[in-house]
């Protein structure tokens, strides 16, 4: 068993949960751990390109936030006022934004895996997601989790 590997299933698309997931991932990567993040369901929204296709076929895709800048909060969202407030406080406190956290994760070699079954259900195609994402299913997740000593579902 390899004590230097971590996996995180990123199920939620909420800004606060995404921030928590990336802070843990980046912290582990900074300690030279190998980290794999599996993005499923709403978590896939964190990997969407800001631009992307102008017309989406699938209803879910159109209703979901386009990239990390549009994520809502799991609590006290207030139609977007909560996320704006949280982002402002984070800037004031010099806490890095979700966008920067994602960039740092990629620079540190955190592996991003998008769940292909979830992509089908949510109506996301591969070219709608940012570069450097791998595509796989639950068997890949389980293989990696078996090698890791910390496995979280967020």
Q: Give CA–CA dist 138/142, Å, rounded.
A: 6
Q: Which residues pair with 112 in a beta bridge?
A: 37
Sign of CA dihedral 16, 18, 24, 27: negative
What's the closest the beta carbon of residue 108 comes to a second copy, in angstroms?
13
Task: Verify binding: residue 135, a second copy, rule CB under 8 A.
Answer: no
Tell me if 33 sits within 8 A of 111, measured CB to CB: no
What's the closest the beta carbon of residue 38 comes to a second copy, in angstroms?
10
Tell me if 7 sits within 8 A of 33, measured CB to CB: no
C-alpha R_g of the chain: 15
Q: In terms of CB distance, is 96 or 106 closer to a second copy?
A: 96
Task: Verify binding: residue 149, a second copy, rule CB under 8 A.
Answer: yes
Using CB under 8 A, list all residues that contact a second copy.
Answer: 1, 3, 9, 11-13, 16-17, 20, 23-24, 27-28, 30-31, 33, 40-42, 58-60, 63-64, 74-76, 85-86, 89-90, 93, 95, 117, 120-121, 123, 137-139, 141-142, 145-146, 149-154
């Amino acid at each position: 068993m390899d004590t230097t590997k971590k996996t995180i299933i990123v199920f939620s698309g909420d800004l606060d949960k995404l921030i928590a997931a990336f802070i843990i991932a980046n912290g582990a990567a900074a300690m030279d751990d190998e980290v794999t993040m599996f993005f499923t369901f709403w978590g896939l929204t964190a990997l969407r390109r800001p631009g992307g296709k102008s017309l989406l076929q699938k209803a879910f895709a159109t209703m979901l936030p386009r990239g990390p800048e549009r994520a809502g909060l799991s609590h006290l969202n207030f139609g977007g006022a909560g996320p704006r407030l949280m982002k402002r406080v984070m800037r004031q406190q010099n806490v890095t934004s979700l966008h920067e956290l994602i960039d740092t994760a990629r620079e540190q070699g955190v592996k991003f895996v998008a769940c292909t079954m979830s992509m089908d259900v949510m109506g996301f195609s591969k070219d709608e997601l940012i570069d450097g994402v791998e595509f796989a299913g639950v068997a890949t997740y389980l293989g990696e989790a078996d090698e890791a000593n910390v496995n979280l579902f967020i």
